[in-house]
Amino acid sequence: MSRVTALVVACVQGWTRLYTWGLPSDVRTVRREEIASDLWESTHELTMTDGEIVLQMVTRLLFGIPDDLGWRLTQGASTMLTPRRVVAVALAAGALLTIMLWPTVEIGAPTVPAAPLQASWVRQPMPPPPPPPPPALPGRRTAPSPPLHYAQTVYSVVADGPAPQRIKEVRPVYPPIAVAYGVEGRVQIDATISASGQVVRAEAAPGGTFYFVQSALTAVNDWQFAASDPARAPARLTVHVNFVR
Amino acid sequence: MPLEEAICAAAEALRRRGIREFHGYELAKQLAADNDRKLLTAYGTLYRALARLEAMGLLESRREDPNIAAEENRPGRRFYKLTALAEFVAVAAPTKRRRATIRRRRRGEAPA
């Protein structure tokens, strides 16, 4: 986590502590835990750059302040903050955040220095064409893609009866970016197999990380099993998918 | 209540993908995907709406088993799930709105 990201996380948590301060313990804990979990998910978002994550968190914080205050006011009793004080604190916090983060946030790729302005009607000399790429060696790739990693799967039958025989296994792909960051996870899937051997339903148990769940569901939905007696009820399986390195 | 309806629709979309229970960040991502935008719903807006929906009986929530969170070294999540009433709202509300729009167009009124 970069320094700026850590700072923004601290700001969001500080603001959450501020507007939940003085509330009953159960109400306060639920909101603080929800925000902490959301922040954790945001900072472990692998599809965004650090700058995008920071920008996302700052905008979510600032745009949410009116609703935070509205929610706080609806909690009503035992509040030690008057509405006027809450608004003043919110404005101060928002202004402070904006001032602190404005010059430090970098979004995406590093900025390229702008070319000097020139009149559009002045004909500029054409830049020389780039040299042609060297011819690729026959039968050999110039940039071989890294090998894919796969998750381990284990399945078991939920009800009594023989386990259907799997005749086609598609292994869940370990998302390359998760491999790169060393993120591991487990997903449990409940699947129903029809008499013809097709996966007719696959549902992930709650708690799995989004991209692991997607990868596991995609793979399990493509599994095929040997056809069984049509008179029998569809088989129900529990599939454990382990994304470990 | 457009946000509440959108949340029910997003939860329904997650359910169709096999995700019956979801946490706030997952829902925020689905909402952004449904509306084709990158910016997620603000913390305050999202969690206030979730609290409202829970109070209205459209959502129910539970705290994640703390052992799972501790094992994965992260804060515990709060999982939300649509109630039966909300599943009806998620399916019926857009249909009703479409019908109302069609009726207004037939009468020559501007859509709401």
Distance CA A170, CA B44 (A): 41
| Cβ separation B25–A38 shorter than 8 A | yes
Instruction: Quote the pLDDT of residue B42.
Output: 92
pLDDT at A102 exceeding the cut of 70? no
Q: How far apart are CA B84 and CA A188, in angstroms?
A: 24
Check: complex ipTM more than 0.90? no
Pair B104, B110: CB distance under 8 Å: yes
Helix axes A3-20, A83-101, angle to 10 degrees: 180
Residue B100 neighbours by CB under 8 Å, 6+ apart: B112
A50 three-class SS: helix
φ/ψ of residue A238, rounded to 5: -115, 120
CA distances from B25 to A40, A65, A240 (A): 9, 17, 24
State the residue for tokens 């719903």. Answer: B41
- Kindly tell me the burial class for residue B3, based on how many C-beta atoms sit within 10 Å of its own C-beta (0-12, 13-18, 19 or more): middle
CA distances from A245 to A132, A141, A178, A199, B27 (A): 40, 27, 10, 27, 29
The predicted structure's pLDDT at residue A115: 46
Among the partner-chain residues A59, A62, A71, the one whose CB lies closest to the CB of B48 is A71
Average pLDDT across chain A, whole number:
78
Q: pLDDT tens for residues B3-58?
A: 888 888 888 888 888 888 999 999 999 989 888 888 899 999 999 999 998 888 88
Under 8 Å between Cβ of A45 and B29: no
* Chain B nearest CA to A220, separation (Å): 12
pTM of the complete model: 0.53
Determine whether the interchain pair A64/B17 forms a contact, defined as Cβ–Cβ distance below 8 Å: no
Tokens 């890294």 belong to residue: A146
pLDDT score of A24? 87
Give the residue from B70, B27, B74 showing the smallest Cα distance to B47: B27
Q: Which residue of B has its CA nearest to A214?
A: B17
Residues of A with CB under 8 A from a CB of B: 12, 16, 30-31, 33-42, 44, 56, 59-71, 185, 189, 202-204, 206-207, 210, 213, 217
Q: Which residues of A touch B10 (CB under 8 A)?
A: none
- B60 has a chain A CB within 8 A of its CB: no
* Residue A224: how many other CB atoms lie within 10 Å: 16
